[in-house]
Amino acid sequence: MRREEMLSRAKWAGRLEERERIARELHDTLLQGAQGLILEFQSVANRLPLLHPIRKQIETALNQADDFLEEARGRVQDLRSISGIAEFGTAINREGELLAGRMGVRWKFSAQGDLRSVKQLVAAELYAIAIEAVRNAFAHSRGTIVCAALVFSDCSLGVRISDDGCGFDAARNTPQGDACHFGLQGMRERAEHLGARLIVRSSVSHGTEIACAVPAATAYITAVPRRFFFLRSCGNTGRGGAPLDLGAENAG
Residues 155 and 206 in one domain: yes
Residues 40 and 69 in one domain: yes
Domain assignment present for 227: no
pLDDT at 175: 42
Query: Range of 168's domain?
Result: 85-219
Domain assignment present for 247: no
Residues 100 and 195 in one domain: yes
- Is the pLDDT reported for residue 233 higher than 80? no
Query: Averaged over 239-249, what is the pLDDT?
Result: 57
Query: Across-strand partners of 10?
Result: none
pLDDT at 142: 92
Domain assignment present for 243: no
Count: domains in the chain: 2
pLDDT band at 27 (very low <50, low <70, confident <90, very high): confident
For 50-102, what is each residue's pLDDT tens digit?
Answer: 889 999 999 999 988 888 787 777 767 666 655 555 567 888 998 899 889 88
Mean pLDDT of the chain: 79
Residues 62 and 110 in one domain: no
Distance CA 119, CA 115 (A): 13
Q: Is the pTM of this model over 0.75?
A: no
For 162-183, what is each residue's pLDDT tens digit?
Answer: 999 999 876 665 444 444 455 7
Number of other CB atoms surrounding residue 141 within 10 Å: 22
Residues 200 and 134 in one domain: yes
